[in-house]
Amino acid sequence: MQASCQCGAVQFKTPTPEPLDLYHCHCIECRKQSSSAFGTSAIFPAFPLPDNLPLSCYTRKTDSGGLLDCYFCTICGARVLHSRQGKKTVSVKGGCLEGLDWSKAKHIWCSRAVVKIPEGVQRWDEEPDD
């Protein structure tokens, strides 16, 4: 899938044509990061980003005690990708992907949701097991 930030300075292609999974996360960190009611993450096998992109990285602790590298465009500030240190997958922010099928999204951290979760979707009160 083709991905880009808001201004287009950061562009890359995912290693597979579709994500392995898709989550709408309702945790407080994702709400703050997205400035919205939830954050959307498309899960892909880990891959390196091109070296010449205007990216910076913010690293934070996760609720489970791990470290999360959060990559964003240094020009427009859009968050584009998250990588958990030591994991074999990355999450590309859903709004950055062209042609993403949003209907397959699962909801996580529903215990912290500020909007109603639709009936009949896969959901977890917290984070699902890996």
Sequence spans of domains, the chain = 2-112
- Residue 30, pLDDT above cutoff 80: no
What 8-state DSSP symbol labels residue 123?
B
pTM value > 0.75: yes
Q: Quick one: pLDDT at residue 71? A: 96
77-116 as b/e: b if 16+ CB within 10 A: ebbbbbbbeeeebbbbbbbbbeebeeeebebbbbebbeee
Q: Quick one: pLDDT at residue 64? A: 75
Q: Quick one: pLDDT at residue 27? A: 80
Q: Quick one: pLDDT at residue 130? A: 59
- 2-112 has which fold? 2.170.150
- 97-109, pLDDT tens digit by residue? 999 999 889 998 8
For the chain, first and last CA: distance in Å?
23
